[in-house]
Amino acid sequence: MRLEQLQAFLAIAETGSFQQAARKCGVTQSTISRQIQALEADLGLSLFHRTTGVTLTLGGERVLPRVRKICQEWRTIKEELADLVAGKQPELCIAAIHSICSNCLPPVLQQFCHDYPEIQLRVTSLGSDRALKVLKDGLVDLAIVMNNRLLTTGSEMAVEVLYDEPIEVLTAADHPLAQFDKVPWFELVRYPQVVFKDGYGMQRLVQERFERFGATLQAVLEVNTLDAFRGVVRQGELIALLPRSALVEASQDPTLAVRSLASSDSMTGVDSGLTRQVVMVTTQDRLQIPPIQHFWQLVKKLVIPQFEQHQGRNQAIEDLQVR
């Protein structure tokens, strides 16, 4: 049974004529006749009385309402897909890590809402691994996260590298580590830490680095907001390893100190610098949809220069401190 056979049946039932049904379907009358014969063969009964006029048999009357629903559902599907390709969708769902949501994303959101005022934009702040999972589950259209190649590798995935940024140390202003311009790794590992909760890429990144150095991460507290990190670290004992973009407010707080990690460890001679890579991810099919494609281009246009400008300011400040 094929869709065009059902459409032919419906056209004949509505017009009462094989000839008019052929014109309505844009095919020849012989084609319509063959389609109905094939449909009747599949069903095992006649659908029309072929006498002076064309009328439905008892079987045809039973089939008609169901065929009408199938054909209407198919028309609805075609209309919805046409709207999707044309960029007519009710909402666009984005998942992004906290630092992106608070610092880099607002200009993108404002511009997108201006360009697509009819689309409801929904943004959820999630950890990287969780954001990638909901993307794969189809719950969001696009994710901006810390790269996890186990979750972003695949022919169906579209990945754009946005930037790499250093991981830095957040301490209280009077913490012993605040005396260093660049914190050596052998000093860092001595202190208990507050870390992101499970499911956040940063926790995985920090844990892997400690394992690489054969050290034990003293993770005594898990939180999931930047406000919580600042509030806990401000108390004096705990420290945190966080990406530079997450430390903008902390760097302006006199009760806190932000320090870079030493690029090499004098005790071990091993490179101890730590960075994370931030990427934008969607699926190849979603990237063909105009609103998603537009959001993708806005992020590339607005976020990357904003980050590079911010990095330039930080480098200038570090250069002045060295002098």
φ/ψ of residue 183, rounded to 5: -80, 125
What mean pLDDT comes out for the span 282-309?
Answer: 88
> Rounded to the nearest 10 degrees, how much is the dihedral formed by the CA atoms of 101, 102, 103, 107?
70
Rounded to the nearest 10 degrees, the angle between the axes of helix 201-212 and helix 128-136 is: 130
- Residue 267 has a pLDDT of 52
- In order of their start, the domains of the chain are 3-85 (1.10.10.10), 91-163+278-322 (3.40.190.10), 165-276 (3.40.190.10)
Mean pLDDT of the chain: 87
Query: With b meaning 16 or more CB within 10 Å and e meaning fewer, what string describes 3-35?
Result: eebbbbbbbbbeeebbebbbebbebeeeebbeb
- Residue 158 has a pLDDT of 95
- Residue 119 has a pLDDT of 92
Secondary structure (DSSP) of 85-122: HTT--SEEEEEE-HHIIIIIHHHHHHHHHHH-TTSEEE
Tokens of 172: 């209280």
* Other residues' Cβ atoms within 10 Å of the Cβ of residue 130: 19
Q: Are 272 and 262 in contact (CB under 8 A)?
A: yes
Is the pLDDT assigned to residue 40 strictly greater than 70? yes
DSSP state of 237: S
> What would the pLDDT profile of 221-263 be if each residue is shown by its tens digit?
999 888 999 999 999 899 999 999 889 889 999 999 999 998 7
- Residue 177 has a pLDDT of 96
Is the pLDDT assigned to residue 152 strictly greater than 90? no
> Rounded to the nearest 10 degrees, how much is the dihedral formed by the CA atoms of 270, 99, 290, 77?
100
